[in-house]
Amino acid sequence: MAETLFAQAIEQFERASVCLDVRPSTLATLKRPKRELTVNFPVEMDDGSVGVFTGYRVHHNATLGPTKGGIRYHPGVNLDEVRALAMWMTWKCSLVGIPFGGAKGGVTVDPLTMSLKELENLTRRFTTEISVMISPEGDIPAPDLGTGPREMAWMMDTYSMHRGYSVHAIVTGKPVLLGGSLGRDEAAGRGAGITALEALALLGIAPQSARAVIQGFGNVGQGAAKFLEGSGLRLVGVSDVTGGLYNPDGISFVELMEYIKVHGSLKGFPKAEAVSNAELLEIECELLLPCAVARQITEENAPRIRTKVLAEGGNGPTTPEGERVLLEKGVFIVPDILCNAGGVIVSYFEWVQDLQSFFWSEDEVNRKLKDIIVRAFHSVLTKAKEKGVDNRTAAQALGIERVARAIELRGIYP
């Protein structure tokens, strides 16, 4: 088993590289991030004390355009994880055909333990620390685990104050009033839902007869649940950091959201049975969407997973060993770099709209998102059939190949 997330990313990269006719020197270049920054910075806390936090920003590759990637706040954030996520972002952007390279960033912190003012202090200081790496033309951050439109507004304002004028295109995932795009909040979940429906259709499973289980009820999980329920699927299982819920008769998305507004989490929701996150993954269903943290499906629990389609709404939820077990069982896997690409696709739309100061309707955003992600879905199927490989290997091969060809066309400077 790959010991770290970056080792997992490298293992996947090497498996996909076998399918490609690419120079070894190009592949060697792509195995390493272009640049990395680690910052240790002070933050004033509410009680007058000063906490010191560690943050990261990694650019994996910028051959196809500016780098793009989220900022996550989580206790488990480390340089290895950020490297892996930046690499996957490169393949993701390339796969769906948008002119971005991959980046990622984060701070090792539990945002749930901080006050609003402390979070703002941390965000503004971190933005300043990584300002040598970010710009509208070079590297554009976005929300990720533990961050959202609020943090993006603080980042945008901090960067703008240093420039002396508003720079809306410095981040995406902002509030609409500050240059955000309509449809951005639900884009990652919507994209996951669209690819999941494509997979179900391929297997001849009607949405109205499909049961869905979603692990993780943050931005991606909520967006996917809303979209899938609206498409006719029955949500029978869902979880967040407090645990899981199961009801074979279905769980209402609207009722879940109303409960969360009052109680802050899914814990104690009265219309479903409480289950653990581990038990949730093993519920029998037609569609399983892991939308939480990485490495949730492993060689140990994969034999007990009972789903027809695994749509990876989160990044790296399945280890290579776990994936081999699922493939042997005939599970159709929609890999993460395809499944959750909706977020970066609409982030690209937001960036374009900010640069033009011309904004689109939500219907136009959603229509363009669907066109791009459905086209990418079928290009992966075509590649998998052509090369006789699994969907993940095909998706990564497509992404890697496009970046590699661009590197070879550009040449080496000087």
Helix, strand, or coil here: 37? strand
Cis bond before residue 290 (omega within 30° of 0): no
- Residue 264 and residue 144 share a domain: no
Looking up residue 224, the CATH number of its domain turns out to be: 3.40.50.720
Other beta carbons within 10 angstroms of residue 209's beta carbon come to 11
Cis bond before residue 303 (omega within 30° of 0): no
φ, ψ of residue 375 to 5 degrees: the values are -60, -40
- In the chain, the N- to C-terminal Cα span, in Å, equals 40
Tell me how many helices (H) and strands (E) the chain has.
14, 12
* Ordered per-residue pLDDT tens for the chain, 414 residues: 568 999 999 999 999 999 999 999 999 999 999 999 999 999 999 999 999 999 999 999 999 999 999 999 999 999 999 999 999 999 999 999 999 999 999 999 999 999 999 999 999 999 999 999 999 999 999 999 999 999 999 999 999 999 999 999 999 999 999 999 999 999 999 999 999 999 999 999 999 999 999 999 999 999 999 999 999 999 999 999 999 999 999 999 999 999 999 999 999 999 999 999 999 999 999 999 999 988 999 999 999 999 999 999 999 999 999 999 999 999 999 999 999 999 999 999 999 999 999 999 999 999 999 999 999 999 999 999 999 999 999 999 999 999 999 999 999 998
Q: Give a yes or no: residue 248 inside a domain.
A: yes
- Residue 201 and residue 296 share a domain: yes
Q: Give a yes or no: residue 390 inside a domain.
A: no
Q: Give a yes or no: residue 383 inside a domain.
A: no
Q: Give a yes or no: residue 10 inside a domain.
A: no
Helix, strand, or coil here: 116? helix
Enzyme catalytic residues: 104
Q: Give a yes or no: residue 202 inside a domain.
A: yes
DSSP secondary structure letters along 201-254: HHTT--GGG-EEEEE--SHHHHHHHHHHHHTT-EEEEEEETTEEEE-TT---HH
Q: For residues 84 and 10, what is the distance between their CA atoms, to the nearest angstrom?
A: 8
* CB-neighbour burial class of residue 386 (10 A; exposed 0-12, middle 13-18, buried 19+): exposed
Which domain-ending residue is among 318, 339, 360?
A: 339
Residue 39: beta bridge partners? Answer: 55
Helix, strand, or coil here: 19? coil
Looking at residue 328, what DSSP letter applies? H
- Per the structure, how many domains does the chain have? 2
CA distances from 284 to 83, 171, 279 (A): 34, 40, 10
Q: Give a yes or no: residue 278 inside a domain.
A: yes
- Residue 201 and residue 146 share a domain: no
- Residue 53 and residue 83 share a domain: yes
Which residue's structure tokens are 């590297």? 139
- Residue 254 and residue 136 share a domain: no
Q: Which domain holds residue 260?
A: 187-339
